[in-house]
Amino acid sequence: YHLIGHKWFFSVPQSDAHLVLAQAPAGLSCFFVPRLLPDGQRNGVHLERLKDKLGNRANASSEVEFFNACGWLVGEEGDGVRQILKMGGLTRFDCALGSHALMRRAYSVALYHALQRQAFGKNLVDQPMMRQVLGQMALRLEGQTAFLFRLARAWDRRDDVQEALWARLFTPAAKFAVCKSGIAFVAEAMEVLGGSGYCEESELPRLYREMPVNSIWEGSGNIMCLDVMRVLMKQPAALELLAAECAEVKGQNRHFDRTWRQLQQWLRRPLEEQG
């Protein structure tokens, strides 16, 4: 196939190849577009400009023009979204892992400062309110770590039907929950350092600028929520899987129990309306 047109957001243009969605006679399709053709000549992908981004500057993002660029069809014509989502699941998982890693780094910077900094005759880490702040941050990180390791196991074992469903359901949920929480988390770490945390020398401003991108690309927060709902509505086994996961911790926390009851009621409502 020959691709013609403009792509407004094209990350890592120096890559050896890209997967690209484009319209074919039968509908939106997925194409493998290499940088170099089999004969060694450059493919017709012309770099227009690089994006001037808030953060993520080490990763080039660009606008490109396709001038009869050669692309090899992946799957069938009209099946592009389903094909690209095979990669999209893993990249969404990567987004959650990346945000979590940035949060851990921010926490390390904040904790180190609190261990060294003297305030009112004590190390900052020994002040009761600061211990509570740092403790809550640590709990969030440990919860995310357990969640992401469980999700990684599901991806590793996706030949198993249940594990594949686990990965399909919880990958967008993880991207939403982890990536969305990162900005406020790094801001809290900044506050631990005070004015020093707002200065570039502290490293935290760079982490803060980096945080929003993982919430935005590979599907924004609303898209992740819609994806979770799509799985729950179209695959009844997914709701059973979610119920089984929640049943293991039922009765251990009243806030969790209340939220789970509300979610169950909300999930039933659309099904009842559909008859």
**Distinct helix (H) and strand (E) counts, the chain:** 7, 8
Report pLDDT for 275. Answer: 42
For residue 123, give every residue at least 6 positions away whose Cβ sits within 8 Å of its Cβ, in sequence order, or none: 114, 115, 116, 117
Question: What is the percent of the chain where pLDDT is above 70?
Answer: 98
Q: What is the pLDDT of residues 107-132, one digit of tens each?
A: 999 999 999 999 898 999 999 999 99
Distance in angstroms (rounded) separating the CA atoms of residues 224 and 189: 26
pTM of the model: 0.89
C-alpha distances out from residue 222 to 14, 170, 207, 225, Å: 30, 15, 23, 5
Task: Supply angle C-alpha 100, 188, 56, rounded to 5.
Answer: 50
Indicate the domain borders of the chain.
2-78, 87-234
Report pLDDT for 85. Answer: 85
Given CATH 3.40.50.720, say whether it is the number of domain 87-234.
no
Distance in angstroms (rounded) separating the CA atoms of residues 137 and 124: 15
Task: Evaluate whether 2-78 and 87-234 have a shared fold.
Answer: no
Mean predicted confidence (pLDDT) in 134-146: 98
Report pLDDT for 131. Answer: 97
Q: Tell me the CATH class for 2-78.
A: mainly beta
Residue 273 has pLDDT above 80, yes or no: no
pLDDT band at 233 (very low <50, low <70, confident <90, very high): confident
Q: One-letter amino acid identity for 1? A: Y
> What is the secondary structure of 193-244 as a DSSP string?
HGGGGGSGGGSHHHHHHHHHHHHHTTS-HHHHHHHHHHHHHH-HHHHHHHHH
Report pLDDT for 133. Answer: 98
Q: What is the pLDDT of residues 221-230, one digit of tens each?
A: 999 999 999 9
pLDDT band at 86 (very low <50, low <70, confident <90, very high): confident
CB atoms within 10 A of CB 34: 17
Closest by CA position to 87, among listed 32, 157, 148: 32
Closest by CA position to 115, among listed 123, 104, 127, 106: 123
H helix or E strand, kind and range, residue 134? helix 128-156
Q: What is the pLDDT of residues 15-46, one digit of tens each?
A: 999 999 999 999 999 999 999 999 999 999 99
φ/ψ (deg, to 5) at 75: 75, -140
Task: Out of 81-90, 136-145, 173-182, 201-210, pick the least confident.
Answer: 81-90
By three-state DSSP, how is residue 71 classified? Answer: coil
Q: One-letter amino acid identity for 258? A: R
Residue 6 has pLDDT above 50, yes or no: yes
Mean predicted confidence (pLDDT) in 153-169: 96
